[in-house]
Amino acid sequence: MTVYSPVISRHCQAGQFVHVRIGDSFNPFLRRPLSIGPCDGDYLRLIFTVKGIGTKILSEKQPGDMIDLIGPLGKPFYLPDEKSCPVLIGGGIGVVPLLTLDDHIKKAVFLLGVQSKTSLTVDESEINQRGISIASDDGSIGFNGNVVQLFEKTLQQWSGTEKQKIIVYACGPMPMMIALKSVCAKFSIKAYLSLEAPMACGVGACQSCVVRKAKAEGYYLVCQDGPVFDAQDVELQP
Ligand SMILES: Cc1cc2nc3c(=O)[nH]c(=O)nc-3n(C[C@H](O)[C@H](O)[C@H](O)COP(=O)(O)OP(=O)(O)OC[C@H]3O[C@@H](n4cnc5c(N)ncnc54)[C@H](O)[C@@H]3O)c2cc1C
Ligand code: FES
């Protein structure tokens, strides 16, 4: 969905999200969080899969319809310096904030994992244009395996010194993030993870979107302290 929103598109940073009011009725009552996709001037893209009532209603909007967004919300990705080697790793629809990040980074390695060719979350022209390497669980497109396995295979091509320059930026389902965090820890690779959590308010008031802190007691709020976290700072749970 392409949305005309000059204020958000011109002030957002990669990794931030909008909280979308679905419609005028009370069903659904709560807004839904969606990552801010690539922006072009006064326009931004929202890319989503239909999960339930909110995304279903959103998918039925027509050109010219108005939607109510709060944003940009949350903390963005930290951009890499010129000496580092950024590696973007998306799982399914988690690719969205990485598309926006890719627009701000020159020469990133970009990996995307999907279940199969029929569940691609980016169209083929964009895959080619951005040079995205695909992994599919059923082997129907690209690497036969999951995207973390593809990342491990890609790592074999880098020397020890080069590995130290890698910064991973990732967004995807929790099992992927847990496996990726473990691989990054094994090779001492810095990783920033964009996490998803069910959200009610989206602005730090309701405490519904917690993730446990790894280095201290207590919890972070994904909407306010994230959604992007240093992998070492959060304890991920299946
Ligand atoms: C910061 C952030 C950014 C997001 N960006 C995107 C995006 O760019 N594109 C996109 O397609 N989705 C994104 N999501 C997920 C999206 O918010 C949910 O899919 C959406 O809220 C579901 O609303 P619904 O009314 O369609 O489904 P509901 O009727 O609310 O739920 C349908 C099913 O989906 C499950 N579900 C709901 N929310 C989530 C969630 N956050 N994670 C996993 N399962 C969930 C529910 O438990 C239920 O089983 C993002 C979530 C967060 C927190
Ligand atoms: S969604 Fe309310 S505190 Fe995060």
pLDDT above 90 (res 82): no
Binding-site residues, ligand 2, Cβ < 6 A: 199-202, 204-209, 221, 223
pLDDT above 90 (res 68): yes
Q: Quote the DSSP letter at residue 118.
A: G
pLDDT, one tens digit per residue, over 120-145 is 989 999 999 999 999 999 999 999 99
CA pair distance 77, 160, nearest whole angstrom: 25
CA pair distance 137, 140, nearest whole angstrom: 8
Predicted TM-score of the model (pTM):
0.95
Q: Where are the domains of the chain?
A: 2-73, 85-235
pLDDT above 90 (res 160): no
Calculate Rg over the CA atoms of the chain.
18
CA 223 to ligand 2: nearest atom: 4
Torsions phi, psi for 152 (to 5 deg): -60, -40
pLDDT, one tens digit per residue, over 8-67 is 999 999 999 999 999 888 889 999 999 999 999 999 999 999 999 999 999 999 999 999
CA pair distance 64, 210, nearest whole angstrom: 36
The CATH class for the domain spanning 2-73 reads mainly beta
Give the mean pLDDT of 102-119: 93
CA pair distance 213, 220, nearest whole angstrom: 6
Give the CA diameter of the chain.
57
pLDDT above 80 (res 89): yes
Ligand positioned closest to the Cα atom of 44: 1
The hierarchical CATH code for the domain 85-235 is 3.40.50.80
Mutate to test the pocket of ligand 2, among 17, 31, 203, 225 (most ligand atoms within 8 A of CB): 203
Distance 15 CA to ligand 2 centre (A): 17
Cα 84 to Cα 150, 194, 231: the distances in Å are 20, 19, 17
Q: Quote the DSSP letter at residue 215.
A: S
Binding-site residues, ligand 1, Cβ < 6 A: 17, 28, 32-35, 47-49, 51-55, 93, 96, 196-199, 227
